[in-house]
Amino acid sequence: MHNEIIKFLNVLFQTSDQLRFGIGKRRARQIEIIRNEEPWIKNLFNLSTGESILLNIFLTIIKDFDLTRSSFKNISEIKGIVIVDEIDIHLHSDLQYVVLPQLIKLFPKIQFVLTSHSPLFVLGLRKELGEENFEITNLPNGECIDVENFSEFEKAYSYFKDSLKYQNDINKEILNSQKALLFVEGDYDIRYLRKAADLLDKNEIIEYFKLIDSDGHGNITNVAKHFDSKLAEATPQKMLLLYDCDQNKNENQKGNVYKRVMPTIIENPIKKGIENLFPSLIIQKAKEFKTAFIDITPEIIKTERGAEIIIPELWEVNKDEKKNLCDWIIENGTLSDFENFSKVFDILEKIKNEN
């Protein structure tokens, strides 16, 4: 068993050197790690928080199984179920991606039930175990998903978009594209625009642009900041930053870079997002098909400084149903449902025709 503990330490500290524990004299309270018979980590208190957590978890597994009086010669024979909440807390990137998956692999007969927000950990599991040897369950709905559908990937990528690398990606898009660039707030905007172009016979206009999903108005703003300089005048292609109607942005132009906001259709039931362009009839049909598409806040009357104020009923697209609503409208929407998109195409056509 001594050799098995050493194997565990080699994985934890990512070294092939000879490791062992060194125990201090009585009452010294010192446990160190010796490497090649030389002091290396002079006290376990010197370990990082992440290293200490992993050392504690996996030595506890070995100790607790030994207390069952089951016979085993190596740690690969240990059986059981281990449950750890938020296993990635306090683990730096190498511990998440490399070390933890390798430690789990040392215990093939244990079923690990772990919660995590770490894309790196999930990628490390795939690299170390293969996709067939672990399962990802999305909480709270219990849906089994693959690695690429792990929601934390989208969040992580959105953070990377604030980085210099994202700005470099934008520059590459400009250099490599032979078309004008149209940045919109999301993939659903692109899908709706393409469907509207088919129905309204506006494909010539939409094909003039390369449509780019900015993944939110915040990232369009980052692009705008990037070109809020002489760089806008040097941009060879026209570039349109198109915000949804609910964004309070000033429309302007610098060189070939245009900032525009989709028109607001006041009478339509959805007040935010590109879905504001859809009339009441199609939204009502969608709601009848699946009530979860639309969140409704009833009209309320409140008193403020003695005066009654009526706050109208509010309809909003449920954030978790945006994709499903988009799928349904794309499949069932008609020309009349997409008529308001003609106002967006007027914006695109005007920019297309400007010299």
| Full set of structural domains in the chain with CATH | 2-156 (3.40.50), 163-355 (no CATH)
Per-residue pLDDT band at 163 (split at 50, 70, 90): low
Contact between residue 179 and residue 210 where contact means Cβ atoms under 8 Å apart: yes
Distance CA 345, CA 309 (A): 38
Query: Is residue 326 pLDDT above 90, yes or no?
Result: yes
C-beta of residue 239 within 8 angstroms of C-beta of residue 226: no
Residue 60 in this model has a pLDDT that exceeds 90: yes
The more confident residue out of 220 and 84 is 84
Taking 90 as the threshold, does the pLDDT of residue 85 lie above it?
yes
Provide the β-strand partners of residue 252.
259
Residue (of 217, 221, 168, 170) closest to 189 by Cα position: 217
Look at residue 157 and tell me whether its pLDDT is greater than 70. no
Cα–Cα nearest to 274, from 209, 226, 332, 216: 216
Q: What percent of the chain stands above pLDDT 70?
A: 86
Q: Is 78 a residue whose pLDDT tops 90?
A: yes
Query: What is residue 233's predicted lDDT score, i.e. its pLDDT?
Result: 55
**pLDDT, the chain, mean:** 86
Residues 153, 119: contact at Cβ < 8 Å?
yes
Cα–Cα dist 342/268, whole Å: 15
Mean pLDDT comparison of 29-43, 143-157, 185-199, highest-scoring range: 185-199
Q: What is the pTM for the complete model shown?
A: 0.52
Residue 113 is predicted with a pLDDT of: 96
| Whether the Cβ atoms of residue 37 and residue 45 lie closer than 8 Å to each other | no
pLDDT at residue 158 greater than cutoff 80:
no
Q: Tokens standing for 190?
A: 């692109």
Report the C-alpha gap between 164 and 168 in whole angstroms: 6
> Amino acid identity of 58?
F
Select from 294, 290, 272, 295 the least CA-distant residue to 332. 290
Please answer whether residues 34 and 13 qualify as being in contact, where contact means their C-beta atoms are separated by less than 8 angstroms: no
| Res. 151: pLDDT tops 80 | no
Please, are residues 245 and 276 in contact by the beta-carbon 8 Å criterion? yes
Residue 164, pLDDT score: 56
